Amino acid sequence: MPELGRAALLVTLGLSVYALVAGAMAAHLGRRRLARSAQNALVASFATTAVAAAVLLAALLRNDFSFTYVSRTTSEALPTAYTISAFWGGQEGSLLLWLLVLTGFGAAAVSLNRRWARDLIVWVVPVFAGVATFFAFLVVAVASPFATQVAPTDGAGMTPSLQNPYMLAHPPLLYLGYVGLTVPFAFAMGALLSTKLDERWLIATRRWTLFAWAALGIGQLLGSHWAYVEVGWGGYYAWDPVENAALMPWLAATAFLHSVMIQERRGMLKVWNVLLVILAFSLSLFGTFLTRSGVVNSIHSFTQSSIGPWFLAFIVLVVTVSLGLLFWRLPQLRSPTKLESPVSREAAFLYNNLLLLALCLAILWGVVYPMLSELVRGEAVVLGRSYYDFFLRAFGLPLLLLMGIGPLIAWRRASLKSLATTFRWPTGVAAATGIVLLLLGAGSSVPGLVAYTFSAFVLATIAMEFARGTRARKALGASSWPAAFASLISRNRRRYGGYVVHAAIVMLAIGIAGSSAFDSVAEAKLARGESMTIGDYTLRYSSLDERATANATEIRATFDVRRGDRDLGTLQAGKNAYTIEDQISNEVGIRSDRLTGEDLFVIAEQINRDGSVQFRVFVKPLVNLIWLAGLVFLVGSLVTLWPDRHEQRRLVARASEAGLPATR
């Protein structure tokens, strides 16, 4: 069986190289049949990669420990679901999954657009094939998932912290996101190479980018939630390089999704858009490099592996070639229109882009700073949490405000008078919110108060937009208010889905501000029967129990929780000791208030022999809004991703207006 896997990957490599070379030749010489054959090779490489993936999956499911990979990541006792997740639990399997998704996306994106944008596609194919060649080379020559050994009696098993449902969804979603960013990159490069620099590459890739971006966003939020409930240190994001590795391409992709609208509508920012695509794709590669190469200290420990230098070389190649290409095509990328006023929708989007990019680059600077300082000063200097928090506030808060302004401000040129009219209500709502919160004592954290005030402003603009739109649809003859609302959204999914996503980001901001700027913490060592208080909560430590399960010993401290005079029942926190893996894991107790979104979060830090326990307790207001924001984000993304006939017609009409072969 491993031979079949190895052979399949070798064929994949061959097909990718063929698609790269033949595709480039065909595009350059204008050979249609050769181009077709290169396309078919790309599609076939997906099939052969799928064969290799099936071999690995089968080996995992059969617990075939003669596969080195299988013995290292699983064990006999591991439940089936986690045995499947071992596919991406190790480096070689992750790379294979990457290749599988890459060839799959490539085959689909090329096939879907081949009639509509043939002249563009001929150059997209070799770009895709180039990226696929790199990954196929890695799994063939550097990190093969099909290495074999004399089968041991049992495998090494999986780290307990990875044995939970989050690990079934979080890594694959991130991969879908990372790899998905290859699609806009390949089309952008295809457009540059073919000099078909019209808006078709944007139209062809809009949904792919949205999909990758949504997957990356939801994948990250799932990771945060996992950290919050499973890792149990009381937080959900630690600005760790590996976490930042996923955040940076997401920020770049967010900027791209916004600036694309300016190019579609006004033909501006063409160079900028290509730059953002290159940046997003390079950052997704860089993220993988960070997680694999062990060049920076991270709480996710990644043993130094052999693929680091390959990745670095590939990133350098990608950045050099794509920037070179962009520079070469600069004369063709001149915009026909110019920014007319610094107070206009275009300008607002530009500010949004610059802020997103500034935040992204500030994070990148923080991530690479230890490496740079080591090079320059011979000593790695690490920038801590305060660095990232500072820039999140400095760039994030203005971004929040712009989220309310951007969608409402007039195109081209807005007069100050019209601004006053448009934003009369939202400004009033924001001011009222700010004053009420100040009276309630939210002034203890100025950034928190500002975040809440801006959030109120944005939510007011979103509500206003929905209300105005629904009223207009009703006036145009919708039978009922719900019908008017539904028709409003279905007629412009992109716009109103976007508002839903904005609402999700506002919820996220409120949740982050609440749980980080207005949280409280208390620590105490309690003997049985003793109590501690935090805020208006009282926790009485009543009992300590020990229980043996199949693979762990579970120790739990039980509390009686009261808030004021109200009895809130009991809450448990403790530790699990895993026998085989010889590991201990914190099992935190969380009590969520459904009405206010506040969490009471209890960690049993140290359980002493005499039965006393060192507790650490947090009260985190509004933290549940973060997870709820994930759901709203998903809904908003789905609305924008949903096929939209109106939009398609508009885009095709605009494309044909520009004299393009828009026959789809």
Partner 1 sequence: MARKASPARLVIALSVAGVLAVFLLYTSIAGGGNPSLPPSELAGRTGEVQLAGLVVGPVRGDAHAGGLRFRLRDISGESRTSVAVLYTGSVPDLFKVGRHIVVNGELERGTFVAQPGSMITKCPSKYAPKSDSA
Per-residue burial over 319-356, b if 16 or more Cβ lie within 10 Å, else e, is: beebeebbeebeeebeeeeebeeebbbbbbbbbbbebb
x/- binding map, residues 271-310, to partner 1, per CB under 8 A?
Answer: --------------------xx----xxxxxxx-x-----
- Looking at 312-320, 340-348, 469-477, 547-555, which segment touches partner 1 (CB under 8 A)? 340-348
Which SS3 state, helix, strand or coil, does residue 607 take?
Answer: strand
Q: Which residue, 264 or 644, has its beta carbon nearer to partner 1?
A: 264
Q: How far apart are CA 431 and CA 629, in angstroms?
A: 24
Min separation Cβ 379 and partner 1, Å: 5
Q: How far apart are CA 609 and CA 611, in angstroms?
A: 5
Min separation Cβ 269 and partner 1, Å: 9
- Looking at 132-140, 311-319, 362-370, 440-448, which segment touches partner 1 (CB under 8 A)? 362-370
How far are the Cα atoms of 243, 527, 594, 597 from residue 625, in angstroms, in the given order? 20, 34, 10, 6
Min separation Cβ 585 and partner 1, Å: 5
Beta bridge partners of 614: 525, 606
| Residue 575 touches partner 1, criterion: CB under 8 A | yes
Min separation Cβ 354 and partner 1, Å: 4
x/- binding map, residues 183-222, to partner 1, per CB under 8 A?
Answer: ----------------------------------------
| Residue 153 touches partner 1, criterion: CB under 8 A | no
| Residue 614 touches partner 1, criterion: CB under 8 A | yes
Q: Which residue, 584 or 635, has its beta carbon nearer to partner 1?
A: 584
Q: Which residue, 381 or 431, has its beta carbon nearer to partner 1?
A: 381
Total of residues contacting partner 1 (CB under 8 A): 58
Q: Which of 351, 425, 466, 642 binds partner 1 (CB under 8 A)?
A: 351
Q: Which residues contact 14 (CB under 8 A, 6 or more apart)?
A: none
Q: Answer positive or negative: Cα dihedral of 351, 356, 357, 363.
A: positive
Q: Enumerate residues 373-402 that contact partner 1 by CB under 8 A.
A: 373, 379-384, 386-387, 390-391, 394-395
Q: Which of 39, 83, 94, 470 binds partner 1 (CB under 8 A)?
A: 94
Q: Which residue, 396 or 434, has its beta carbon nearer to partner 1?
A: 396
Q: Which residue, 579 or 648, has its beta carbon nearer to partner 1?
A: 579
Q: Which of 505, 506, 488, 489 is nearest to 497 (CA)?
A: 489
Q: Which residue, 258 or 493, has its beta carbon nearer to partner 1?
A: 258
Helix H or strand E encompassing 353: helix 345-377
Q: Which residue, 187 or 349, has its beta carbon nearer to partner 1?
A: 349
Q: Which residues contact 227 (CB under 8 A, 6 or more apart)?
A: 233, 235, 236, 237, 238
First to last CA, the chain: 44
Q: Which of 51, 142, 315, 358 binds partner 1 (CB under 8 A)?
A: 358
Min separation Cβ 350 and partner 1, Å: 6
| Residue 223 touches partner 1, criterion: CB under 8 A | no
Q: Which residue, 301 or 421, has its beta carbon nearer to partner 1?
A: 301
**What is the Cα Rg of the chain in Å?**
27
Q: Which residue, 474 or 528, has its beta carbon nearer to partner 1?
A: 528
| Residue 369 touches partner 1, criterion: CB under 8 A | yes
Q: How far apart are CA 593 and CA 600, in angstroms?
A: 8
Min separation Cβ 387 and partner 1, Å: 7
x/- binding map, residues 238-257, to partner 1, per CB under 8 A?
Answer: --------------------
What is the CB-side half-sphere exposure of residue 564 using CA atoms within 13 A?
1
Q: Which residues contact 343 (CB under 8 A, 6 or more apart)?
A: 409, 413, 414, 416, 419
Residue type, 226: W
| Residue 408 touches partner 1, criterion: CB under 8 A | no
Q: Which residue, 204 or 356, has its beta carbon nearer to partner 1?
A: 356
Q: Which of 3, 340, 545, 546 binds partner 1 (CB under 8 A)?
A: 340
Token pair for 358: 């500034």
Q: How far apart are CA 371 and CA 374, in angstroms?
A: 5
Min separation Cβ 233 and partner 1, Å: 7
Burial category of 424 from C-beta neighbours within 10 Å (exposed 0-12, middle 13-18, buried 19 and up): exposed
Min separation Cβ 549 and partner 1, Å: 17
Per-residue burial over 382-406, b if 16 or more Cβ lie within 10 Å, else e, is: ebeeebbeebbbebbbbbbbbbbbb
Q: How many residues are listed for the chain in this entry?
A: 664
Q: Which of 216, 603, 622, 651 binds partner 1 (CB under 8 A)?
A: 603
Token pair for 405: 């302004």
Residue type, 333: L
x/- binding map, residues 51-90, to partner 1, per CB under 8 A?
Answer: ---------------------x----------------xx
Min separation Cβ 424 and partner 1, Å: 26
- Strand pairing category for 613-620 and 520-526: antiparallel
* Residue that is written with structure tokens 């160079």 in the block: 271
Min separation Cβ 391 and partner 1, Å: 7
Which SS3 state, helix, strand or coil, does residue 82 take?
Answer: helix
| Residue 341 touches partner 1, criterion: CB under 8 A | yes
DSSP-derived letter for residue 410 is P
Q: Enumerate residues 500-559 that contact partner 1 by CB under 8 A.
A: 525
Residue type, 44: A
Min separation Cβ 580 and partner 1, Å: 13
Could you tell me if 572 and 544 are in contact, meaning their C-beta atoms sit under 8 angstroms apart? Answer: no
Could you tell me if 197 and 191 are in contact, meaning their C-beta atoms sit under 8 angstroms apart? Answer: yes
Could you tell me if 441 and 494 are in contact, meaning their C-beta atoms sit under 8 angstroms apart? Answer: no
Min separation Cβ 370 and partner 1, Å: 6
Q: Which residue, 345 or 473, has its beta carbon nearer to partner 1?
A: 345
Could you tell me if 340 and 415 are in contact, meaning their C-beta atoms sit under 8 angstroms apart? Answer: no
* Residue that is written with structure tokens 């976007």 in the block: 498
Binding residues for partner 1 (CB under 8 A): 72, 89-91, 94, 156, 159, 161-162, 232-233, 291-292, 297-303, 305, 338-342, 347, 350-351, 354, 358, 362, 369-370, 373, 379-384, 386-387, 390-391, 394-395, 525, 575, 583-586, 603, 605-606, 614, 616
